[in-house]
Amino acid sequence: MTRDETGTAAPVPNPAPRPGKAELTRQSIVDAAMRLFLAGGYDRTTMRAIADEAGVSLGNAYYYFGSKEHLLQAFYDRVQVEHAAAAEGVLVREREFPARLQGLVEAWIDIAEPYHAFAGRFFRTAAEPSSPLSPFSAESAGPRQASTELFRQAVEGSDLKLAADLRRQLPELLWLMHMGVVLFWVHDDSPGQQRTRALVGRAVPLVDKLARLTRLPVVRGVVKDVVDLVDAIRA
């Protein structure tokens, strides 16, 4: 027990829970894989090398990750968590929709930049429709929903006024736009991926203008058609 300023005994807050041994082992394997992927490339890194780097047996490494592809899924999950943390500042600070959207996408580019060297391998695997690494797969539902939620926050906390149906669909449409930016980024060999940053800088004002135009009566019929199309694709 501790005591407050009046001398009354106050309960000591419980410490934050610590990761269990299994989670620590899993994290150490992911950390080892990321180091080796960055240092030697994805293709030249073996599961045995990852196990040695992490200080675990090869069997233990395979217990947590069935293949290097599963480690790429862990990379996908990690980038999403880091993206959410990096985007928090701009979502708190900015109210104008273009600033929120551009800040959100640029935060992803900043987070992903160190991994650009082997990102091509990741997205070649993810591009296979049957791959669990596909951003559209059932296995990727968690990161996909978390990313879409960030775009929902960008819309909901902004000055953007939309029809209710479009407001409901826009975060998913923005996520699809983001996937296009990611694909461009993968193939962008400019220093610091400056071409991707320039693309975002030009695309965001266009998205903002199009979104605001949807409030015009002449455009509302088209908006309804787009919303119906997205609902049909999802179904």
Question: Which of 188, 158, 17, 149 has its CA nearest to residue 94?
Answer: 158
- Helical H runs in the chain? 21-40, 47-54, 58-64, 68-93, 97-112, 116-126, 141-156, 164-186, 194-213, 217-234
Q: Please say if the pLDDT value at position 47 is more than 80.
A: yes
What pLDDT, on a 0 to 100 scale, did the predictor assign at position 78? 84
- Residues in contact with 25: Cβ distance below 8 Å, sequence separation at least 6, in sequence order: 54, 56, 60, 64
Handedness of CA 25, 108, 90, 159 (dihedral sign): negative
Residue keyed to tokens 């015009």: 216
Q: Is residue 32 packed enough to be buried (19+ CB in 10 Å), middle (13-18) or exposed (0-12)?
A: buried
Contact 42, 33 (CB under 8 A): no
Query: How many CA atoms lie less than 13 Å away from 128 in the CB half-sphere?
Result: 10
What pLDDT, on a 0 to 100 scale, did the predictor assign at position 165? 81
CA Rg value for the chain: 22
Its pTM stands at: 0.79
- Which of the given ranges, 3-7, 33-37, 69-73, has the highest pLDDT on average? 33-37
Contact 149, 201 (CB under 8 A): no
Q: Tell me the per-residue pLDDT of 134-156, one tens digit each, with 9 for 90 and over.
A: 888 888 888 889 999 999 999 99
Distances (CA, A) of 45 to 35, 69, 232: 10, 12, 42
- Using CA atoms, how far apart are residues 72 and 34, in angstroms rounded to an integer? 9
Q: Please say if the pLDDT value at position 11 is more than 60.
A: no
The pLDDT confidence band at residue 203, using thresholds 50, 70 and 90, is very high
Q: Which residue has the higher pLDDT, 190 or 132?
A: 190
- Domains in the chain: ranges and CATH: 18-66 (1.10.10.60), 72-234 (1.10.357.10)
Q: Please say if the pLDDT value at position 52 is more than 60.
A: yes
What pLDDT, on a 0 to 100 scale, did the predictor assign at position 233? 66
What pLDDT, on a 0 to 100 scale, did the predictor assign at position 1? 44
- Using CA atoms, how far apart are residues 193 and 188, in angstroms rounded to an integer? 6
